Structure 1
């Protein structure tokens, strides 16, 4: 509520914003520790702006224990340097909990960057995130004192380099995330041996190393998200030896990397949703000549088939398994080649499938090899995809589409399957694309209803949202129609129900 005094002889307006004043008064009555906690949750720039409110706020804003500085707002470099220097000089907190720094790396400011990180180490910071950006051939190298910071619990490095002459000693570090970094085998050994308490390790768009040997029983979770190949590399493989690992995730585009699982005997949860690219597609993206012969990439695909066979064997005892579109396509090739698939012991199976590339033959092969599955989740994506030059794989997938699944699947049942959930992810308009995929999803749903003898619930979940292209709720409408059509389909389990959630 604002009041305006129109009787002022000087003919000026006096405005009192009573609502804001009341709010500030109430906040000011909070305990000091709680006010500092609130300020620490704000972006650092906003927290320090509060110092204009009063002298008390000037004191409070210098006591924040979370600091976040980002040079991503087109701020002149000199202004950013001055801003961070000033903020750190005014900081009176005895200990910093979170220190996040995003900066445009330039050699001329090395001393400032080093001083900022020294401040974080001196304040015994527990959670550090560093992101540098700039020239691909000039990467920021961590200063030496960082490698012995004993207070670190989580560390996230983006486009940084490690000093190969320094031995790492992060005795308290539990989580390490490395993004867009070049690492060789010695770097990996240094990281793992110097982080004995490490529990979670993530590589995102990294490259360089060829073996990941994890001997610590503390490290339980490994995530590999996308992969980049160096131009000089001949060996496009990564070996993983991790006998104590319990959670493994490999996702994103990994080009033509062959990720080999040597020992993952303790795995409980495995997520393999990555996509391998055909060498023909890689040649096309890099501007090279593409051999049009259909079978020119046969050996290339056969090598990946062998890798997938090994995956299935190594993952046969996991409890929770997630499989992506690319792996179901390889499973289709295995099925057509009459290669036996080992029985899987998983109880919870998730399929992350692309509607445009939904391969029923591969999916059915996987389900047939999974008689212990109790819960099946199918996450259907509808994003746009690039066209492939690989006619060898396309020919196999076309053969898989011609398999009469009703006859083939009539010979087996899903004896343990109790719950099925189909969920759609964000994507493109269904009216212009994916009709074959929609038909396949309906066929798969019918097979599940008919062959799941103890099925209890069949969920179809779709978030209601307006399509930008057709201006209708096309995705949700389709999934509602799918649920309605399934109501009239035969079911093996008389106790099963079909539920639509929007």
Structure 2
């Protein structure tokens, strides 16, 4: 394990590289953070970043670090935890009431607010690998009146994503994966209702049977770079035929594209292109706003390899928790 501590006047970055789950290595990393923070009590923080594995015995230390960052009026907080033995970190209640957060990323934690969330200055929010429901999502959005960009990465547990806030202009639906230790229904259908967003990106692995768009009438740009189908993580039935799965893929893509005919710019990735190639012979008319430029940076070979490695890593982590 290697530990990097990057400290300056306005930014603190703690990163534990090499997640082997060794209790002694983690303990050493945690003690080094405690020692470092005791030397810097009066910073006005711009950014505080923590990326490490997490296990239940370390809940009090992480709580202390969050208190430290909030007492320093941190504006950008990145809390990325990789749970061991399914022990997700429960966020403290004071975390949900903060007037300094502007850019927030939370991964591998439990959202359990007991009251209304209040993030009055928050502009950008990324939630990763967290179980959410419709009520919790509404609480987050109502408590973030200035939020402009929302990214949900491999979050699960909800059926409808209702973005009624007029301030949110960018929505990134970055994967939907259910870890093996949690309940999973094989008829997962997600609906997205977001009448005021201007940009929508749907990407990564969608462990779903169907994804529907409802009201997205204000959209200007849409990007479909996802890999669709529960079969990438688990199958509904061991004997499911490939033809049936392809029909679901085509049905979902067709529904999405029909709801996106009005956007100025519509781009699709390689996986969607394969489904589209099966739809065309069946009479589906390709929208005139569709773009697929294999020479663009979005489809460079290096990025293709990097993105697929990221997907494989995510799936492997979910399947082994």
> If the length of structure 2 is used for normalisation, what is the TM-score?
0.81
Q: Does 1:323 align with 2:275?
A: no
How far has the Cα of 1:181 moved from its partner?
1.7
Which protein has the bigger strand share? 2
Structure 2: distance between partners of 1:329 and 1:126: 43
Alignment CA distance shift 1:328-1:150 (3 Å): same
RMSD between aligned alpha carbons? 2.9
How far has the Cα of 1:155 moved from its partner?
0.6
Q: Does 1:332 align with 2:277?
A: yes
Stretches of structure 2 lacking an aligned partner (at least 5 in a row): 305-321
How far has the Cα of 1:111 moved from its partner?
2.4
Within-5 A mapping of 1:225-244: 225-229=174-178, 231-244=183-196
Q: Does 1:191 align with 2:151?
A: no
Larger radius of gyration: 1
Alignment CA distance shift 1:71-1:304 (3 Å): closer
Structure 1: distance between partners of 2:43 and 2:116: 28
Structure 2: distance between partners of 1:118 and 1:204: 25
Alignment CA distance shift 1:152-1:112 (3 Å): same
Which protein has the bigger helix share? 1
How far has the Cα of 1:82 moved from its partner?
2.6
Task: Give secondary structure in 2 for the equivalent of 1:168.
Answer: coil
Alignment CA distance shift 1:123-1:423 (3 Å): closer
**Aligned residue for 2:150?**
201
How far has the Cα of 1:213 moved from its partner?
0.5
How far has the Cα of 1:46 moved from its partner?
5.4
Task: Give secondary structure in 2 for the equivalent of 1:426.
Answer: helix
Structure 1: distance between partners of 2:215 and 2:298: 33
| Higher RCO (CA < 8 A, seq sep 6+) | 2
Task: Give secondary structure in 1 for the equivalent of 2:52.
Answer: strand
Deviations 1:335-373 (A, max 9, x none): 22224x2643x3xx542xxxxxxxxxxxxxxxxxxxxxx
Kept in 1, the 8 Å contact 2:56–2:87? The answer is no
Alignment CA distance shift 1:46-1:128 (3 Å): closer
**Aligned residue for 1:270?**
222
Deviations 1:446-491 (A, max 9, x none): xxxxxxxxxxxxxxxxxxxxxxxxxxxxxxxxxxxxxxxxxxxxxx
Stretches of structure 1 lacking an aligned partner (at least 5 in a row): 1-42, 48-60, 352-376, 381-420, 429-502
Alignment CA distance shift 1:299-1:157 (3 Å): same
Structure 1: distance between partners of 2:144 and 2:210: 27
**Aligned residue for 2:301?**
425
**Aligned residue for 1:88?**
37
Kept in 2, the 8 Å contact 1:272–1:324? The answer is yes
Deviations 1:283-308 (A, max 9, x none): 3xx9x6335xxxx5655544443333
